[in-house]
Structure 1
Amino acid sequence: MYASDISRELWELGFELFNDRDRMMAKFIQASILDAGSDLGQLKGMIDVIIANQFIHLFDWEGQVSVIKRIVELSKPGTVLIGYQGAKVPPEELQRPWGNMYFHDQETFRKLWQRVELETRSKWDLDVKLVDLSEWGMEREDLDWMPEGRKGINFVVTRQS
């Protein structure tokens, strides 16, 4: 099992929070998924399951294309990508202090994958569900500050070829 993040500090914080340093057997790779020269390259074509929770939506549209292309590089036929992320109806790119983030609905999420399939010559089966954020356990006060139309996307994406 491998774990990766751009920041080792978050990994260390997880050990403190869960008190599992002696039991967590995953190998941590500090890297940006967008850095083609990072140590993630050693996993090219080897990953069976990828978990991407609250991650892909952190990027603008083109950044998401790059992230998913990198996921394709790490995957092989049969790889399953599971996750969830913020969504918006209608879809919208929002400016944040660190850059723009694109929030999909089901249709644009599928269009994103269609583009990646064409550009990588891979084929993926998408199971995508748009959900109300209350399904993730968010309370009304958690949602009040969010923009109108804020939703979530749950996804299971399986590589066919």
Structure 2
Amino acid sequence: MADGYSKEDGPGEAPPGMMGGLIYCDALTEVTGRARNILEKWSDVPASEVVEHVNEMRDRAYKVFPWPSIGLYQFLSIYMLDFDCYPEILESIKKGAFFLDLGCCFAQEVRQVILDGAPPANVFGADLSSDFMNLGYDLFLDQDKLGARFIQSDIFDDQSALRTEFHGRLDVIHASNFFHVWEWGKTIEAAKHAVSLLSSKPGSVILGTQVGTKRARKVIFPHMKGRSAFFQNPTTWKRLWDVVQQDMGIQLDVQVTESYIPDKDEFQWPEELEFTRLHFVITRVS
């Protein structure tokens, strides 16, 4: 099953795709809904200044690393609120469960759970780059009041603070726009490391959303020095977690749904790649 590219396991359903140029949409003219709510209520950004503030932060962040998720303002999306299990998760954090936003970038989910009443001492964020965490402080204007702890760590470094200090300690891991940045084999490795951070008790959970493709395939990003990633569909996503369970000797309940990404032309998505969004909840059974 070299790199997962075999017909029977799902990956390799379509030829490799090319993203083309930079994925970067025009500056916003309005900010609404959840993002505006958190910026006004949590960050005390004046209503008249929200749009300018957000556009400035997007442009600063894109210079750190030109991820499509930043170019498309996905740091304004608070994905946790879309899950039916969010109220239950929030209550568990209030009662002492440990929550990690893995690959947190600006860490909007960290702010949301604290705004909703979670104790900051139970809330953590982790990312490879401290630049993103610092940009998060600048976006949300809360370095002096947030209280949550951020960990700069590489998920693949077994000596990192994340892997050593939090091994087996976490109850909830939110990981949106995280598992779709590597090729097949590396994604399996990342998934195993994420599971190793979870408590072994039944009910600990990993949830999130990420970009996929209707037919699973490798996607190449020329503007990122030819970096490539394997984009999944529900079939390959379940297959990946089957490998994780088998290799780790554990049992997981894997739930995944698929939706279409709107306005692909506006956001410069190559239409032929048939981009989707996967939404997943992975619960430890044993």
Alpha-carbon distance, 1:122 to partner: 1.2
User: Contact 2:264–2:270 (CA<8 Å) still a contact in 1?
Assistant: no
Corresponding position of 2:285:
160
Alpha-carbon distance, 1:129 to partner: 0.4
Q: Percent identity at matched positions?
A: 28
Whole-angstrom distance in 1 between the partners of 2:245 and 2:142: 38
1:9-57 CA distance string (max 9 Å, x none): 1000000001111222221111111111100121000001101110100
Structure 2: which 5+ residue stretches go unaligned?
1-122
Instruction: Choose from 52, 70, 74 the match for 2:193.
Output: 70
Whole-angstrom distance in 1 between the partners of 2:131 and 2:269: 30
| Alignment pair present for 1:82 and 2:210 | no
Aligned-partner residue type, residue 146 of structure 2: M
User: Contact 1:86–1:103 (CA<8 Å) still a contact in 2?
Assistant: yes
| Alignment pair present for 1:6 and 2:128 | yes
1:83-141 CA distance string (max 9 Å, x none): 1011011100112336320101100000000000000111111110011113xxx5751
- Where does 1:38-77 land on structure 2 (aligned, <5 Å)? 38-40=160-162, 41-76=164-199, 77=201
User: Contact 2:211–2:275 (CA<8 Å) still a contact in 1?
Assistant: yes
* SS in structure 2 at match of 1:58: coil
Tell me the TM-score normalized by structure 1. Answer: 0.91
* SS in structure 2 at match of 1:24: coil
Segments of 4+ in structure 1 off by > 3 A? 143-147
Higher strand share: 1
Tell me the TM-score normalized by structure 2. Answer: 0.53
Whole-angstrom distance in 1 between the partners of 2:168 and 2:246: 18
Alpha-carbon spacing, 1:130–1:17, altered in 2? closer, same or farther (3 Å): same
Whole-angstrom distance in 1 between the partners of 2:128 and 2:226: 14
Aligned-partner residue type, residue 28 of structure 1: F
Instruction: Choose from 222, 235, 251 the match for 1:107.
Output: 235
* SS in structure 1 at match of 2:180: helix
Aligned-partner residue type, residue 93 of structure 1: K
Whole-angstrom distance in 2 between the partners of 1:146 and 1:139: 7
Greater shift in the superposed pair: 72-81 or 117-126: 72-81
Aligned CA RMSD, in angstroms, stands at 1.6
Whole-angstrom distance in 2 between the partners of 1:62 and 1:116: 11
Alpha-carbon distance, 1:73 to partner: 0.8
Whole-angstrom distance in 2 between the partners of 1:92 and 1:3: 30
Higher helix share: 2
User: Contact 1:72–1:120 (CA<8 Å) still a contact in 2?
Assistant: no
* SS in structure 2 at match of 1:125: strand
Q: How many residues align?
A: 158
